Structure 1
């Protein structure tokens, strides 16, 4: 806890994931704990890293008697995976995509059109 405040849902996972992104190489739970300022219990860090692994957001490799963790994607990649996961649960994909695009601000819609055009070339 920071200054007696409780973290919001997912905030701790986001902080740990931020450490993995910043590290640029596989890191241990001890490394993550230290990079977060050493205020979290080691077991808490291990639990969060295990959850990230189980969710498919992080990979792990055996290093001695413990693991070293890496993110599966960068931040934009993770957001895209989340969006795809939501889309995959819907039965009316066309309707969901149409509604998504129709609710985009004009600049984002233009950007999406440009990206789609580039991907076809």
Structure 2
């Protein structure tokens, strides 16, 4: 029993005998970021097969298709029919996606005023200057 517990603990830490090691899974967020980077770099709509080739990571095409479908469901990428499948393209640039994530975090809390106040209080002088300039110019 103790040896089983030890093997399990070592395996989780990536240690132990080679036959006990399992490949580390890449977190979904990293894969999604890689897929988005490939779409932004392409500059044109891409099929899952094209994205798979540009990633060069050995991911199965079905995995890439699943990632693209999830990104589409989240509204991060758009798609259009191409043949029997879809070609995908980013719904916005990287800056727009970051802004979207910031809005999402803000929407998760019912006390927006406190969240914004704490966010502003934690800004560095350079970011505070940028924010003041943006607010003075009406955010444009």
TM-score by length of 2: 0.79
Q: What corresponds to 2:111 in structure 1?
A: 92
Higher relative contact order (CA 8 A, sep 6+): 1
Tell me, yes or no, if structure 1 residue 75 matches structure 2 residue 94: yes
Q: What corresponds to 1:40 in structure 2?
A: 59
Mean Cα displacement is larger for which, 68-77 or 8-17? 8-17
Is the partner of 1:61 in helix, strand or coil? Answer: strand
| 1:33-69 CA-partner distances (Å, limit 9, x unpaired) | 1111161111010010001001110011111100000
Q: Which runs of 4+ in 1 moved over 2 A?
A: none
| 1:66-120 CA-partner distances (Å, limit 9, x unpaired) | 0000111111110000001111222111111111000111111111111111226
Q: How does 1:50-61 map to 2 (within 5 A)?
A: 50-61=69-80
Q: What corresponds to 2:7 in structure 1?
A: none
- Distance in structure 1 (CA, Å) of the matches to 2:41 and 2:137: 30
**Structure 2, unpaired ranges of 5+:** 1-22
TM-score by length of 1: 0.90
Q: How does 1:4-23 map to 2 (within 5 A)?
A: 4-23=23-42
Is the partner of 1:52 in helix, strand or coil? Answer: helix
